[in-house]
Structure 1
Amino acid sequence: MVTFRIALAGNPNTGKSTLFNTLTGLRQHTGNWAGKTVIRAEGSYEYQNQTYKVIDLPGTYSLFTNSVDEEVARDYIILEKPDVTVVVLDATSLERNLNLALQVLEMTSKTILCINLMDEALKLGIEIDEKKLSEKLGVPVVKISARKKEGIQSLKSSIYDVVSGNIVPKPRQILYREEIENRIRAIESEIRNLLGDSYPSRWMALRILEGDQSILDAMERFESSGVGRELNTYGNSSCHT
């Protein structure tokens, strides 16, 4: 039986932990992330004769590593490469929550947006057109109420479709001004030469342009191959041109 890894990402207070509990029930355990004091929660469920291991990432508002929680979440998505990252959004604060979703979409195409708390949104008269949102962003969008266990089967079905290749998400790319795009393309070429398709080259190029040393250090620890040092050398030269 195949086991797929599903990461749950989201802002605090989006009901992400409730969804984790709904999906995994009693089949879960907790510990700490390696070298961190941050709690790591894992569980599993079965669907269509396949096992899905669910990893509940720390709740964060961003993935720019301003905190240990953000670093843990970012490193798991980039370095561990889960089969699907489900971004849990609060239906009552969708615009604010989409900031994190857009960051994840730059990191991995294997993403599903899960709009939770639809029961609360309906009370407030909020309507969300998930099909139009899916068309705009290029990834599956599912509406649920984890607390009431509504929409869970639709979410499981979407996860199954992505891991099985029935759906191939194609996130819409965020474009920057021409000067930045030219520099991104130049750095992307170097990253592909060094890493192939192992990592999202565009996202890596953006982090290098921003001088994000933490991701290079994380790659060095993870790969133990000098890759981080090589990227750091190129990044330093790029940031001064």
Structure 2
Amino acid sequence: MGNSYRVALAGNPNTGKSTLFNALTGLRQHTGNWAGKTVSLAQGNVQHKDKTFNLIDLPGTYSLFSNSSDEEVARNYIVFEKPDVTVVVLDATSLERNFNLALQVLEMTKNVIICINLIDVAEKQGININERILTNRLGVPVIKISARNKKGFPMLLDTIDRIVTGAIECQPVQTTYPDEIEEKIKKIEPKVSELIENQLSARWVSLRLLDGDENLLNEINKRFGQKERAQ
């Protein structure tokens, strides 16, 4: 709507995601609960150039497999509400552990920024992160920041701006699974595409169905069933 865009913040607990949210939005934020959930919802605005970015601070989770209310809320927002950009906040000192969530998000949606926080702490520990190599390998922008010191904020906001205006086109890397799983994906993906009418990533939905994700199937039936009944 106009020059307003929705930006979701996702990340593991204790990565500084909420610190980033608070630093960007300041007093321009409000909290509540997600509809039908006791999970807290925080939203806030940040002005950049001629645009308003509405930031949604998703619950901190280690995965998006809907094993808990927090995971379900975060997963459903990214998949069904389709924010204009999803920023995945990682802890620079624990990248290997944090990348599990990041790779899940890259399978779910296209417009993603990997935001590596606590870079000042990592550098003190002798950890060197080459964001250019990561950008090339992941197919999406990788930005290094320190939310506590507000370091890297101009680059992050400019990158969000360039994605929503189409100046940057994200091409997220596709995780390749063992041949047996890839064959099953190919078999059911066309049927999944018919079911979801290209509204979601058919490959990602196929993966979740192969994993027996009944919660996702119920959510798809509920949301797409509502559309059919409304027509």
Q: TM-score range by the shorter chain?
A: over 0.9
Extract structure 1 runs of 4+ deviating beyond 4 A: none
Identity over the aligned pairs, expressed in percent?
A: 58
State the Cα distance separating 1:223 from its structure 2 match: 3.1
What does residue 72 of structure 1 align with?
Answer: 73
The alignment status of 1:166 with 2:167, answered yes or no, reads: yes
Q: Which 5+ residue runs of structure 2 have no aligned equivalent?
A: none
- For 1:180, the aligned partner's letter is I
Equivalences for 1:50-61 in 2 at 5 Å? 50-61=51-62
**Farther-moved stretch of structure 1 (214-223 vs 202-211):** 214-223
What does residue 32 of structure 2 align with?
Answer: 31
What does residue 216 of structure 2 align with?
Answer: 215
SS of 2:67's partner is coil
State the Cα distance separating 1:8 from its structure 2 match: 0.1
Instruction: Provide, for residues 189-226 of structure 1, a one-character-per-residue CA deviation record: whole Å limited to 9, x for no partner.
Output: 11222323210110000011111000111223333348
What does residue 145 of structure 1 align with?
Answer: 146
Instruction: Provide, for residues 66-109 of structure 1, a one-character-per-residue CA deviation record: whole Å limited to 9, x for no partner.
Output: 11100110000011011100000000101110010000000011
Q: In 1, Cα distance between the equivalents of 2:150 and 2:100?
A: 26
What does residue 136 of structure 2 align with?
Answer: 135
SS of 1:79's partner is helix
Q: In 2, Cα distance between the equivalents of 1:191 and 1:95?
A: 32
Q: In 2, Cα distance between the equivalents of 1:213 and 1:194?
A: 15
Q: TM-score, normalised by structure 2?
A: 0.95
Paired residues of 1:220 and 1:226 also in contact (CA < 8 A): no
Paired residues of 2:66 and 2:75 also in contact (CA < 8 A): yes
Q: In 2, Cα distance between the equivalents of 1:171 and 1:134?
A: 10
Instruction: Provide, for residues 137-189 of structure 1, a one-character-per-residue CA deviation record: whole Å limited to 9, x for no partner.
Output: 11100000010000001000111111111111111111112221121112111
Q: TM-score, normalised by structure 1?
A: 0.91
What does residue 89 of structure 1 align with?
Answer: 90
Q: What is the number of residues matched between the two proteins? A: 227
SS of 1:167's partner is coil
The alignment status of 1:111 with 2:112, answered yes or no, reads: yes
Q: In 2, Cα distance between the equivalents of 1:45 and 1:54?
A: 7
Q: Which 5+ residue runs of structure 1 have no aligned equivalent?
A: 228-241
Q: In 1, Cα distance between the equivalents of 2:74 and 2:100?
A: 15
- For 1:173, the aligned partner's letter is Q
Give the RMSD, CA atoms, in angstroms: 1.2
Shift in CA distance, 226/186, structure 1 to aligned 2, threshold 3 Å? farther
- For 2:88, the aligned partner's letter is V
SS of 1:86's partner is strand
- For 2:122, the aligned partner's letter is A
- For 1:81, the aligned partner's letter is K
